[in-house]
Structure 1
Amino acid sequence: MTTLRLLRRRRFLPLFCTQLLNAFNDNLYKTAMVLFVVYAVYNDPEAETRFSAIASALFIAPFILVSAIAGQLADMRDKARIIRAVKLCEIGLMSLGAVGLFLAWQGLLVHTVAIPLMLFALFLAGLQSTFLGPIKYSILPQHLPRHEVLAGTGLVEAGTYVAILVGTILAGWIPVEAAMVLILVTAVVGYASSRRIPPAPAMGKVERIDWNIARSSLALVRFVRKDRVIYLATISISVFWTIGAILFIQFPPLAKNVIYASKEVATLFIVMFSIGIAIGSVIINHLLKGEVSARYAPAAVVTMGFFVVLFYFFVRQWPDDFTGDLLTVPEFLAYPLAWVLMGILLLISIAGGVFVVPLYAFLTTRVSGDKASRTIAATNMISSLCMVGGAALALTMTWIGITIAEQLLAGVALCVVTSLIARRLYREEHLPSVYQA
């Protein structure tokens, strides 16, 4: 089996492990921080939703600001060296995050120092991921033959969500003081793993890097617009992640204020979503048998929207007469309706994984190796703009008084839009590429 063989190859395994550890650490830190603040600092649904949205926006902001520079660097410099430099910086930024968590845990300068410091470290974590983002997919055609790229992309995507899963579980279950130590240890191990990645030098002409953020960002958008298929794939991915942003922002407040459950239950929601994306990533590789195609994408995203409606319907059936302490995980799972909610969340995310993995494979297989990183960077930048829009939409809906449960339905409308774009992509996927590989 191609996927299992890749895990035994040095041309893939160190990169896979480095990416896995990076996703694990980002989510361990972000989830530990958000859950601690939502459950231990604030006691107001509006403030909790606002903080969750601000945290998401800060993590995403660097993808908007510097994706163009990150893409240029990845195409013009050795990708393995960039990864090592970024992973070394992670040790420093996680040290800042650990200090912020420590202060908040001790109740010292919580609002004036601890929370701003934690949010600043989260912004730096997003900056780190901005520079790694273009590389984790664009390096694959450089180290893998074309027939292994879809398998490699699916494995990276599945591994990323397994890492998100594990990081999220730990953040919800271990004490905050343990999270402080673990984020530092993981940063060190991630750097050690990155040193085993084989060289991946620039593949084409080394051009001058444009450090002007506005000009280079506009150039990046023009770059993807020249190829119809890449542009449609980019827009499809971007709207998909907007849906994901809305769902992830709502999970902690939804668990606390609608389900009346503890932070461990909020973690369980995110866990189910992550498991499903990983499963969907593996399923689509088997369905397509290595072919890069959007054949299943329109149906997958429509299916996702259908299950979001079901999730909303069953959330509305949840009893609202709770008093006393928030439900623990065993207490939550004692309700038959809880298993229905978990099952629907799993199906939502499986459909999401089936949808998104082939679209990322388009971005690296339709262009020559010297342009792949910029293609991924453009997608990251546009996706991040859409995700910030999703966070802003969540804040606006909260401000005008739309309930947390009803905000889920915003994702359904976006699923319909995405399916229309994906249908057009499938019809046009065989057009010749402007950036022919």
Structure 2
Amino acid sequence: MPADAAVPGSSPESAADRGSLTVLLLASTLGVMGGATIAPVIEVIRQALDVGGTAAGLVLTSHSLAIALVSPLVGRTTDRFGPRLPLAAGLVVYGLGGGAGLVIDSYPVLFASRLILGVGAAAVFTCSTAALLGLYRGEMRDKVMGWRTTATTAGGFAYPLAAGALGNASWHAPFAIYLIGLPLGAATLLALPKTSHASPSDPSAKGSRRGAVRLLREHPLVLALCGLWVATTGLMMVLAVSLPRRLDQLGIHDTLVVALYGTVLASGAASLVGLTYAKLTARLGYAALMRTAAGAWTAALLVFAVAEHWAVLMLVPVLTGIGSGITMPTLTVLVDHAAPAEQRGTATSLQATALFGGQFASPLVFGPLIDATSIATGALVAAAGTAGILAALFRLKEPDQTTGLTDTGEGDRPEAPADERPQRGS
């Protein structure tokens, strides 16, 4: 193995390794922030473009549909060529697609730009995750996955607040935040190690051409874990969509207070989990952590349904943040354990499809239910769903620590062919 490649189970000691980690963590702040970045000004956009509430809502969610549809293609590209070039291209597309809102005054054009943003976000989410999983092993991987969660939640806190401040000048101004993708794209080319795609005769090349459907058929645990992504994201979106209305019912009308209420508490809880994630996995294991997350979600939904005072409702974002802080790194690692190493990009892309597909579908499923009944009823139905997930998770076993599918040390997976090993450089 080259001296400058990441050593399984080690820390990023060289300047090059630290540069790679820094770029990947910064990219991780962008992957799930496509809609939340402009959420504070969405009502202003609706009025300025003279569109209805549903059309305005699609400005926030259309990128999720693009991510869900494009991610499998991004995954196969990553398996074929490595994450470096697709990630750099995705960051540029992300910056251009998102930043286009600075000069757009037409709803159809804005909608199209959001789809382009989704294409870039699919590459950012999939490639940054695959790169982190490929560079680190064992305890260091758990630490990095925890740091990634903290970085993601930090973005979830910082970008909406920055957008809210910029929105006081113009509804166009918050779109400038997306332009951060452009310098990050250039930094990716400089910081990440080069990888050569496999030759047609290499087993990994054949594996990378198998595709998502065959991967799911041959590795049913990957399918089950992706289904868990869909279910949990869809159920927990009930809180994200309904929290402002619930606070309004309890007499909290200030939009800044609403934003701080949901963002600060949830992000803070998830960040703390991320910073301690390696210790939590060492002490409890992945399966127990997933059951803890499902329990936290169920409790959050029950409190949300019955709380009659804003102080009690403060428990909801805290519990939600704990669940999300656990789930994002844990499911990512579990899917990577369950899939072949040569199909890491495809497996990671399926997580993106499941995550953002569930996010896009949730309002379509729960919106009519809540409109026909009440917010409390929708939350109770979602709580029944998360309770069912909790019961099912008692069948989840820890990854086999003795097979080649588990990254616990230098001998945990077969060493990559010589022409696929990372080579540092631009």
Tell me the TM-score normalized by structure 2. Answer: 0.78
Matches of 1:390 and 1:6 in 2, distance apart? 39
Map of 2:89 onto structure 1: 85
Map of 1:206 onto structure 2: 205
**For residues 241-267 of structure 1, what are the alpha-carbon distances to aligned partners after superposition, in whole Å with 9 as ceiling and x for unaligned?**
222333222344444565441321232
Matches of 2:56 and 2:235 in 1, distance apart? 15
Give the length in aligned residue pairs: 391
Map of 2:362 onto structure 1: 390
Does the CA-based 8 Å contact 1:63-1:381 persist in structure 2? yes
Does the CA-based 8 Å contact 1:3-1:155 persist in structure 2? no
Alignment of 1:56-95 (within 5 A): 56-95=60-99
- Superposed displacement of residue 93, structure 1: 1.2
**Structure 1 counterpart of 2:41, from 36, 41, 52:** 36
SS for the counterpart of 2:342 is coil
- Alpha carbons of 1:356 and 1:31: their partners in 2 closer, same or farther (altered >3 Å)? closer
Matches of 2:37 and 2:292 in 1, distance apart? 35
Residue 99 (structure 1) aligned with residue 94 (structure 2) = no
Matches of 1:181 and 1:38 in 2, distance apart? 15
- Alpha carbons of 1:303 and 1:185: their partners in 2 closer, same or farther (altered >3 Å)? closer
**Structure 2 counterpart of 1:189, from 171, 183, 197:** 183
Matches of 2:243 and 2:291 in 1, distance apart? 26
Amino acid of the structure 2 residue aligned with 1:165? F
- Superposed displacement of residue 382, structure 1: 2.8
Does the CA-based 8 Å contact 2:29-2:152 persist in structure 1? yes
- Alpha carbons of 1:427 and 1:369: their partners in 2 closer, same or farther (altered >3 Å)? closer
- Superposed displacement of residue 95, structure 1: 3.1
Residue 374 (structure 1) aligned with residue 346 (structure 2) = yes
Does the CA-based 8 Å contact 1:79-1:201 persist in structure 2? no
- Superposed displacement of residue 422, structure 1: 2.1
Matches of 2:401 and 2:363 in 1, distance apart? 35
Does the CA-based 8 Å contact 2:71-2:350 persist in structure 1? yes
Q: Between 199-208 and 426-435, report the one with greater CA deviation.
A: 426-435
Supply the RMSD in Å over aligned alpha carbons: 3.6
SS for the counterpart of 1:289 is helix
Gaps of 5+ in 2: 1-7, 407-411, 414-426
Matches of 2:111 and 2:28 in 1, distance apart? 18
**For residues 135-185 of structure 1, what are the alpha-carbon distances to aligned partners after superposition, in whole Å with 9 as ceiling and x for unaligned?**
222222432234422222221122111111111222234335474474254
Matches of 1:22 and 1:145 in 2, distance apart? 19
- Alpha carbons of 1:423 and 1:192: their partners in 2 closer, same or farther (altered >3 Å)? same
Identity %: 12
Matches of 1:251 and 1:96 in 2, distance apart? 30
**Structure 2 counterpart of 1:248, from 229, 240, 252:** 240
Amino acid of the structure 2 residue aligned with 1:301? A
**Structure 1 counterpart of 2:373, from 398, 402, 425:** 402
Matches of 1:85 and 1:75 in 2, distance apart? 15
Residue 344 (structure 1) aligned with residue 316 (structure 2) = yes
- Alpha carbons of 1:86 and 1:290: their partners in 2 closer, same or farther (altered >3 Å)? farther
Gaps of 5+ in 1: 104-112, 211-215, 319-336
SS for the counterpart of 1:17 is helix
- Alpha carbons of 1:431 and 1:221: their partners in 2 closer, same or farther (altered >3 Å)? farther
Q: Between 185-194 and 198-207, report the one with greater CA deviation.
A: 198-207
Amino acid of the structure 1 residue aligned with 2:42? V
Map of 1:229 onto structure 2: 221
Amino acid of the structure 1 residue aligned with 2:205? V
Alignment of 1:403-422 (within 5 A): 403-422=374-393
- Alpha carbons of 1:290 and 1:145: their partners in 2 closer, same or farther (altered >3 Å)? farther
- Superposed displacement of residue 72, structure 1: 0.4
Map of 1:20 onto structure 2: 26
Amino acid of the structure 2 residue aligned with 1:198? P
Amino acid of the structure 2 residue aligned with 1:197? L
Does the CA-based 8 Å contact 2:337-2:405 persist in structure 1? no
